[in-house]
């Protein structure tokens, strides 16, 4: 059974449809990457999966259970983590407190998971008593991912984790994503840096105008001249 199975998802804001039938399947050990032009509905799809959008048609299943239109805290309980693109840390809370908030529903795990989070993101350990608002963009992204991992999700949704970061940090974040995935967490992320992201993807989804344009393995998409021409800038 796939970890995430989305079929023909339609939805949008206030009666305006942005998604016009998107299909997406991720297995438990896979990294899925969503790419596509601006306004294709990439982030909207992520929000639809995380219950922040009214899904009007279609099904979203997590391990075979329908989850669309469930309240957010229920989705977290079911094993989903979400890292928004912006405003993804609590600026006045310290790094440690930010991480603790991730484990809000599982307070018994805090010690163990904190150790694990510092292991994944060593720079955070030194800054654990500093307010997260004072960190650099890359470190903030680590706090955000660490926070989401604290709840031990099975599926982690990342919305443009490398937006606005320097290439050095971008590769660092992608390395972490691979490590997290190797530790047994399914990943679905939206990316603007399409080539680099598809390079680490087991599955790639190219969206345009709220529909799947191409769906294949990351390597196959990179090799496909049509994809390269229209979506990867030649």
Partner 1 sequence: MNEFVFFINNVLIAGSVTGSIYAIGAVGVTLVFSIMRFAHFAHADMMTFGAFMVLLLATLFPNAGAALGVPTAIVMLPLAMVLTAALAVGIDKAFYKPLRAHGVKPIVMVIGSLGVTLMLQGLIRLFSGTGGQSLYVDDRKEIFRLALPIEGVRVPVVITEPQIYLFVLTLVAVIGLQLFLSRTRLGKAMRAMSDNPDLARASGINTNTIVAVTWVIAGGLAAIAGTLLSMDVTFKPDLSFHLLLPIFAAAIVGGVGHPFGAIAGGFVVGFAETLAVFNWNVLLRPFRDSLPEWLELPNNLAFVGTEYKIVVPFFILVAILVWRPTGIFKGKVI
Partner 2 sequence: MTTNDFHHRDDTNSAPQSRFPVRELSLLVVLAIAVSAVFMVMGSAYSTRMLVEASCYAILALGLTIQWGYAGQFNAGVMGFVALGGFCAMTFSVPVNPAFWDSSLPGELARVLAYVVAGIALVFGLSRLTRLGLPSWLRTVITLVVGMVVYMVVISEFREVTDAIESQMGFVGGLGLPVWVGWIVGGALAGGVGYFIGHVCLGLRSDYLAIATLGIAEIIKAFLKNSDWLTRGTATVSPLPWPVPAPGEVGFTLARAMYLSVTAVMILAIFFLLNRAYNAPWGRMIRAIRDNEVSSAAMGKDINRRRLEIFVLGCVLMGIGGAALGSFNSIFDPNGYLPLNHTFLVLVMVILGGPGNNLGTLFGAVAVYIIWIMSEPLALYVMELAAHFGQASFGWEVPSSLESRALQARVFVIGLLITIVLRVAPKGLLPEKVKHHD
Contact between 177 and 161 under an 8 Å Cβ cutoff? The reply is yes
Q: What is the distance between the alpha carbons of residues 230 and 234, in angstroms, rounded to a whole number? A: 7
- 87 lines the binding site for partner 2 (CB under 8 A): no
Site string for partner 2, 15-54 (x = CB under 8 A): xx--------------------------------------
Candidates 32, 36, 41, 102; binder of partner 1 (CB under 8 A) is 102
Reference 124, options 104, 156, 154, 102; nearest CA is 102
Binding residues for partner 1 restricted to 136-155, rule: CB under 8 A: 147, 151
Q: How far is the CB of 16 from partner 2 (least distance, A)?
A: 7
13 binds, among partner 1, partner 2, none (CB under 5 to 8 A by kind): partner 2
Contact between 217 and 203 under an 8 Å Cβ cutoff? The reply is yes
- 88 lines the binding site for partner 1 (CB under 8 A): yes
Candidates 69, 72, 136, 166; binder of partner 1 (CB under 8 A) is 72
Reference 24, options 224, 211, 222; nearest CA is 211
Determine the interface stretch with partner 2 among 9-17, 71-79, 109-117, 214-222 (rule: CB under 8 A).
9-17
Contact between 62 and 80 under an 8 Å Cβ cutoff? The reply is yes
Q: What is the distance between the alpha carbons of residues 178 and 61, in angstroms, rounded to a whole number? A: 24
Binding residues for partner 1 restricted to 33-52, rule: CB under 8 A: 50
Helices (H), 78-190: 95-102, 110-120, 122-126, 137-149, 167-182
- 86 lines the binding site for partner 2 (CB under 8 A): no
Interacting residues toward partner 1 by CB under 8 A: 50, 72-73, 76-77, 82, 84, 87-93, 97-98, 100-102, 104-105, 107, 147, 151
């Amino acid at each position: 059974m796939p970890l995430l199975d989305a079929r023909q998802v339609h939805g949008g804001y206030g009666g305006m449809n942005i998604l016009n039938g998107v299909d997406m399947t991720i297995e438990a050990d896979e990294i899925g990457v969503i790419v596509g032009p601006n306004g294709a509905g990439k982030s909207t799809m992520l929000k639809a999966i995380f219950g922040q959008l009214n899904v009007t048609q279609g099904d979203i299943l997590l391990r075979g259970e329908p989850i669309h239109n469930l309240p957010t805290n229920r989705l977290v309980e079911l094993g989903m983590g979400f890292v928004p693109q912006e405003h993804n840390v609590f600026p006045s809370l310290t790094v440690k407190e930010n991480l603790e908030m991730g484990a809000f529903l599982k307070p018994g795990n805090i010690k163990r998971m904190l150790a694990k989070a510092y292991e994944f993101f060593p720079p955070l350990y030194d800054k654990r008593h500093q307010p997260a608002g004072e960190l650099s963009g890359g470190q903030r992204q680590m706090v955000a991912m660490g926070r989401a991992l604290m709840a031990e999700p099975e599926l982690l949704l990342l919305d443009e984790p490398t937006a606005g970061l320097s290439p050095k940090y971008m590769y660092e974040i992608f390395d972490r994503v691979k490590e997290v995935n190797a530790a047994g967490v399914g990943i679905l992320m939206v990316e603007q840096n399409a080539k680099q992201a598809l390079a680490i993807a087991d599955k790639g989804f190219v969206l345009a105008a709220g529909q799947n344009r191409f769906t294949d393995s990351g390597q196959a998409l990179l090799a496909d001249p049509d994809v390269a021409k229209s979506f990867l800038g030649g």
